[in-house]
Amino acid sequence: MNIKVQMGMVLNLDKCLACHTCSIPCKNAWTTAPGTEYMWFNNVETKPGVGYPKEWENQDRYKGGWEIRDGKLHLRAGGKTDKLVNIFANPDLPALDDYYEPWKYDYERLTDSPASRHQPVARPYSAVTGKAFNPQWDSNWEDDLGGAPVTGLSDRNFAGLEAKAYLDFKNVFMMHLPRLCEHCLNPACVASCPSGAMYKRDEDGIVLVDQSRCRGWRYCVSGCPYKKVYFNWKTHRSEKCLFCYPRIEAGEPTLCAHSCVGRIRYVGVMLYDADRVREAASHPQPQGLYQSQLEVFLNPNDPAVCREAERKGISWHVMEAARRSPIRKLVVDWKLALPLHPEFRTLPMVWYVPPTSPLVSGGVEDAKGLDRMRIPVRYLANLLAAGDEEPVRSALSRLLAMRRHMRDGQFQSTASAPFPSLRAHPDTSGVLADAGLTPEQAAEMYHLLAIARYEDRFVVPTSGRENRDDVWAMKGSEGLAQGEMEERP
């Protein structure tokens, strides 16, 4: 058993407003330097659609992530020989137009224009070339189904469905998908980097870029199946989401989670067995990867795990945070949160609670009505479970059972009872039993998903780095990671 600590995040898609309040503080904090104009470490996409960059889910085009060949795990883009052959011309990269050419507006034309008969216009001009042009795409071009009847036809999650039928006006559906780096247990970007600049921190699993080692080969960009590693066209170095590690080290959540007005994000730690990662990622069937990743996680209440963690030097407050982790509750205990495209075999650590949706033909919201939901279960399964509908149906059934149970309990409670919705009402209708839940679990789920306090949503232990590193003895920026005040070996 090789115990490791991993920071993780869960996002409840049932509550996402697509307000982009998560994206703006991330942008203002981490990507304001020249060359980062087009980078969005956190962005919110509207589904159906092809996303940002265009068709990022299409690994037939980008060759990201891993695959099984001859019974073994291999990078989809090929090994060292393939990279050496194409090292000066990586063929699997997204083009700038797949992201978008960053632009500004000629506001001086408005402020300095002389008197004339016509209103002056501030035309867009490229931040790269400085020439005027007409924008054709950006990180949020498909917002609220903008252009979905056209771009939605190329959405990979319609596999097994008739895309055109679901994009007709009377049948169309919409959901919002916030995305950031997955900080995977088996990151393809780290394995793809020829210079060793990409690395996964041992103490919390956050994946970073050592700027002094990066040589701009960009194999990390093509290797990441989620396309959350970016190339700075000014510095010729790769950059990516940091999971706001300076805040994490201080026991604070990421900026995107802290600023989320919908309170859809949960941040915490998980324990996992690093010796079982390759085995889990090598499951022969894509539909089995979800369950195989669950088996990698360790129970922080297990005495054997506690003894091994103590031997490994994992501090008591990290173990306590692992026991209280909302991530473990949502992912392992209740199995409500699912990984984004587990078929990429990176074992991602940003998970999603699938959204419920209204029934298109009426009826009771329960497990029997899942096939009448506005958002097809098959679509969600392609997005979150490699096409396996069973985990999605299970999660949705539990969410609907909790909703109905708490609603019935609210109506049946007496008016004099204080906060009746928070009490564990008896399961009079049997909906919880059918979903495999107890009234106590339903009440706890309701508390965490609906009205949880700050300290319940974010359980982040401090790292105690001030006791290990002599910051005054550091020699400057040589050998420093992306924004990190620490020398790496």
Determine contact, residues 204/245, Cβ cutoff 8 Å.
yes
* Contact present, 463 and 426 (Cβ < 8 Å): no
Domain count, the chain: 1
Please give the residue range of the domain that contains residue 159: 10-249
Q: What is the pLDDT of residue 270?
A: 96
The amino acid at residue 449 is: L
Q: Quick check: is 440 in a domain?
A: no
Q: Which residues pair with 230 in a beta bridge?
A: 239
Residue 19 lies in a domain: yes
Ranges of the chain with pLDDT below 50? 414-416, 471, 474-480, 483-489
Q: What is the pLDDT of residue 232?
A: 95
Q: What is the CATH number of the domain that holds 15?
A: 3.30.70.20
Query: Within a domain: residue 300?
Result: no
Interior CA angle at 270 toward 266 and 274, to 5°? 145
In angstroms, the CA 5 to CA 327 distance is 13
pLDDT at 344: 98
In a domain, 86, yes or no: yes
Residue 356 lies inside a defined structural domain of this protein? no
Domain-located, residue 458? no
Largest CA distance in the chain: 81
Is the Cα torsion angle 183, 185, 189, 194 positive or negative in sign? Answer: positive
Displacement of CA 337 from its chain's centroid (Å): 11
**DSSP-assigned beta bridge partners for residue 231:** 238
* Residue among 194, 236, 220 nearest 93 (CA): 220
Quote the CA–CA distance of 347 and 296 in Å, as a whole number: 10
pLDDT in tens, 292-305: 999 999 999 999 99
Residue 364, pLDDT score:
60
The predicted structure's pLDDT at residue 11: 98
User: Does residue 39 lie within any of the structural domains?
Assistant: yes
Three-class DSSP category at 62: helix
Predicted pLDDT at 489: 35
pLDDT at 365: 63
Residue 435 lies in a domain: no
